[in-house]
Chain A
Amino acid sequence: MSLQDELKAQIVKRLPELDVVIGWGQGYDSLHRTPLFITSEADVDKLVFDPLCVHNLSTYLTRYGSAKRIGVVVKGCDSRSVVELLQEKLIHRDKVMVFGLPCEGVADLGKVKRALAAKDLDMGRVRAASFADGDLVVTVSGQEIRLPMAEVQADKCGRCRYHNAVIHDEFAGQPITEAAPDTYADVAAFEEQTLEERMEFWREQMERCVRCYACRNACPLCVCRDYCIGQSREPNWVSQRDGLEEKFFFQMIHATHLAGRCTECGECERACPVDIPLLLLKRKLGKEILELFDYRAGTDPDAKPPLLNFKVQEDTINERGW
């Protein structure tokens, strides 16, 4: 039985106890998957799981209130968001059923687009997509193109420590045993630049920002919704001017509000329509919090988050006495 069939069988078995199960379905073309909300057995057939299922579906968990019983299908990285939501008591364990999956990595459609563009092909003309021997095989403009997954895989998957769902009620398939160490090499490489170059980098990137807030809406831990201080008049943190300072400061709000909570699922960066590398800001905070407090968000539902905790004598904070 394939992983996908096993998952479908598990959902069929559990569906009577649940109001809705959130999974992935076929999107508007062969390269896109879209969130699928399963309420009846007939919907289960529409379920798909493959490396094109990029969305972190735990984003939807906080939108149902506490009355509904929800099932959610998660990959390893998505499951950490579920843990983090449980830890913050934003969802209740007995109202959520987690269908865990092992995941070998998902595709980055930005990379697919660039790889096809390098061959003078247009991603919008892809007519079929499948996976064979670790390659993404696409049919585009009458040609069959093989793209090795190693080249079109999302960056976060190359350094993934949690391939298997860390929390689950049902687990389909075989757990993946190997895990890559995450050394935060990308952050270190970025920081080899001078301070001026770094700010110039953000200037160039943020120039493209259209303030669509897709980064915030895709984020599973941005739960303020209509009360987001990035859009409120009172307090008025960010004005409606479309200057770089406003655009950039919104990202500061997003990053600092995720300090010690962000599980680095990369949804902000994936959802960004203009490809701003937003995850870098969150990775930097994640790196410093790991160094200071030896803490990774979304791994233990009973842990106390480091920024809501303290020690009278901190072991790692060297107060530079003046």
Chain B
Amino acid sequence: MDKELRIVGFLCNWCSYGGADTAGVGRFVQPTDLRIIRMPCSGRIDPLFVLKTLIGGADGVLVSGCHPRDCHYAEGNYYARRRLEVLKRFLPIIGIDPGRFEYTWVSASEGQRWQHVVTSFTNQIHALGPVQRIGRQSLAKACSLGTVLEPLA
């Protein structure tokens, strides 16, 4: 696989984080691009977390929580599902491929499913390549315009 990319995962404490742990304990081989942030519940995930991560330069964001009907707090993931679906559909307008963001459900016992989710999401992000950043390209553009100038001492 080519150069490692940066993928951030927001995982709920009760199911998906446990699922990732199960995958680790079971020694399932997984790509190492993903960095995990543990959240109390998928309902805690503000869509701004995802936007901040993507605008700040992460190449992909994965959100994972308990399966619907299995939320530790009974209904957090139902609210999350609506918010995250709206967010995923919003991304194209700002020039970010909606494939860079996925949300899914993995329970604490599903180590193998976790391995599958991480592997396929990482492949998906590698197919898309590094993310384009709103701030950086203009910096590059400004630098290219400034090539005729002497750099400041």
Q: For chain A, residues 228 to 264, give those with C-beta under 8 angstroms from any C-beta of chain B.
A: 237, 243-245, 248-249, 252-253, 255-256, 259-260
Q: Say yes or no: B78 contacts A252, CB within 8 Å.
A: no
Chain B residues positioned under 8 Å from A322 (CB to CB): 102, 104, 113, 116-117, 120-121
The interface stretch among A38-46, A78-86, A95-103, A311-319 is: A311-319
Q: For chain B, residues 114 to 153, give those with C-beta under 8 angstroms from any C-beta of chain A.
A: 116-117, 120-121, 132-135, 137-138
B86 in contact (CB, < 8 A) = yes
Q: With A198-B92, A252-B48 in contact, do A307 and B135 touch (Cβ < 8 Å)?
A: no
Give the B-binding residues of A (Cβ under 8 A): 187, 190-191, 195-203, 206-207, 237, 243-245, 248-249, 252-253, 255-256, 259-260, 280-281, 284-285, 288-289, 291-293, 306-312, 314, 317, 319-322
Chain A residues positioned under 8 Å from B86 (CB to CB): 259-260, 285, 288-289, 292, 307
Number of A-B contacts (CB under 8 A): 120
B31 in contact (CB, < 8 A) = no
Min CB gap B92→A, angstroms: 6
Which of B47, B55, B82, B94 is the one whose CB lies under 8 Å from A314? B82
Closest A-chain residue to B48, C-beta based?
A256
Query: What's the dominant secondary structure at chain A's contact region?
Result: helix
Q: Say yes or no: A319 contacts B94, CB within 8 Å.
A: no
Q: With A199-B132, A245-B134, A245-B135 in contact, do A284 and B81 touch (Cβ < 8 Å)?
A: no
Inter-chain CA distance A319–B85, complex, in Å, is 9
Inter-chain CA distance A124–B120, complex, in Å, is 59
Chain B residues positioned under 8 Å from A249 (CB to CB): 51-52, 55
Q: Say yes or no: A319 contacts B81, CB within 8 Å.
A: yes
Inter-chain CA distance A284–B96, complex, in Å, is 14
Q: With A285-B86, A307-B83, A312-B69 in contact, do A196 and B132 touch (Cβ < 8 Å)?
A: yes
Inter-chain CA distance A207–B68, complex, in Å, is 42
5 contacts between A and B (CB under 8 A): A199-B132, A256-B46, A259-B86, A291-B89, A317-B81
Q: With A202-B134, A244-B138, A245-B55 in contact, do A310 and B82 touch (Cβ < 8 Å)?
A: yes
Inter-chain CA distance A187–B93, complex, in Å, is 8
Which of A260, A306, A320 is the one whose CB lies under 8 Å from B102? A320
Min CB gap A242→B, angstroms: 11
Q: Say yes or no: A190 contacts B93, CB within 8 Å.
A: yes
Closest CB pairs A-B (n = 7):
A199-B95, A310-B78, A198-B95, A245-B135, A288-B89, A284-B93, A244-B135
Min CB gap A270→B, angstroms: 20
Knowing that A245-B135, A321-B104 touch, tell me 8 more A-B residue pairs with CB under 8 angstroms.
Answer: A199-B94, A252-B51, A256-B90, A285-B90, A288-B86, A312-B69, A320-B102, A322-B104
Q: Say yes or no: B48 contacts A253, CB within 8 Å.
A: yes
Inter-chain CA distance A205–B140, complex, in Å, is 17
B73 in contact (CB, < 8 A) = no
Closest A-chain residue to B52, C-beta based?
A249
Chain B residues positioned under 8 Å from A310 (CB to CB): 75, 78-79, 81-82
Interface-centre pick from A237, A309, A317, A322 (highest chain B CB count, 10 A): A322
Which of B51, B93, B116 is the one whose CB lies under 8 Å from A198? B93
